[in-house]
Amino acid sequence: MKVERQRWWGAPDADILAAAIEILRKRIAAGTATFLVKVKAHRGEPVNEGADILADKAISDPKVGKE
């Protein structure tokens, strides 16, 4: 992971990226399927607005991210 980290270290939110990579590695090791889906990031896009609302709710949920 040290070599990978050097490629993006210093980038904004590098700590978040490192945490996401660690979670993905654990999921891979456990044989869990993970799907990443690109979401159009334009304001006013109904599906994106819904995703933003769900993300905001998840941030405030103390159970989220406690794997």
- pLDDT of residue 6 exceeding 60, the answer is no
DSSP output for 13-63: THHHHHHHHHHHHHHHHTT-----------TT-HHHHHHHHHHHHHHH-TT
Q: CB of 25 within 8 A of CB of 19?
A: no
Query: Tens of pLDDT along 8-47?
Result: 667 777 888 888 889 999 999 999 999 988 866 667 777 8
Q: CB of 16 within 8 A of CB of 7?
A: no
Give Cα separations from 56 to 11, 13, 45, 64 (angstroms): 23, 18, 16, 11
Query: Tens of pLDDT along 45-63?
Result: 778 788 888 888 888 877 7
Question: Model pTM?
Answer: 0.47
Cα–chain center distance at 56: 13
pLDDT for position 10: 74
